[in-house]
Structure 1
């Protein structure tokens, strides 16, 4: 398992936990659905990266991370809040950086 794959696994788990947190704190069903959905897609893409479809998993991870970054960055223009906006911006940027560092995949 590469560092990039591990980072995306952790990122996916944190995104899913963020959705659960959003539901628990604000009773937000959209946060629950979007958080768990994005988290499952990210974990699935990390699994694809581990199982030989590195480029497919890489692209899926990158698209999801960019979408999450855009969503939370746009929302922060209205009113910046550390939770969840600031944390998700930092996590998304970290995931994108890790993806760009690990672009070529294992052994490249």
Structure 2
């Protein structure tokens, strides 16, 4: 379900329509190449999928709710980064919160699945976003 909501945005968010009178049908679709945060969208899909799998395997409603909530926030953050590469704050807060929560769960249980995997992937995402934030000069 999540991917069906996300797919049209991925397809159409980077397109702009330019009117040309000499083109057939009167329009020429011109697609611009903005940077799409594919890693961020993949991370969001992983989070949401983890929540759905947790619900399917164990019947855990909190896992489903948390997976969909944090997956939606990560997807929104990836959308913001796709529109403005300097706007990393939602993604950074989401991945930072998941790093802390899932890292604590992994430390307590020592089970790699799912807490260790999510903590590791979230920590990598925090690193990616931190590097992107440090490499880009801020405009004032």
Q: Fold match, TM over 0.5?
A: yes
Larger Rg: 2
Task: Structure 1: state its 5+ residue gaps.
Answer: none
Larger relative contact order, structure 1 or 2 (CA cutoff 8 Å, min sep 6): 1
Q: Which residue of 1 aligns with 2:101?
A: 71
Secondary structure, aligned partner of 2:133: coil
Q: Which of 64, 71, 75 pairs up with 1:32?
A: 64
Q: How many residues align?
A: 104
Q: Which residue of 2 aligns with 1:83?
A: 113
Alpha-carbon distance in structure 2 between the residues aligned to 1:104 and 1:73: 24
Alpha-carbon distance in structure 2 between the residues aligned to 1:6 and 1:26: 30
Cα displacement (A) at 1:10: 0.9
Which protein is richer in helix relative to its size? Answer: 1
TM-score, normalised by the number of residues in structure 2: 0.67
Task: Structure 2: state its 5+ residue gaps.
Answer: 1-34
TM-score, normalised by the number of residues in structure 1: 0.85
Cα displacement (A) at 1:51: 2.0
Which protein is richer in strand relative to its size? Answer: 2
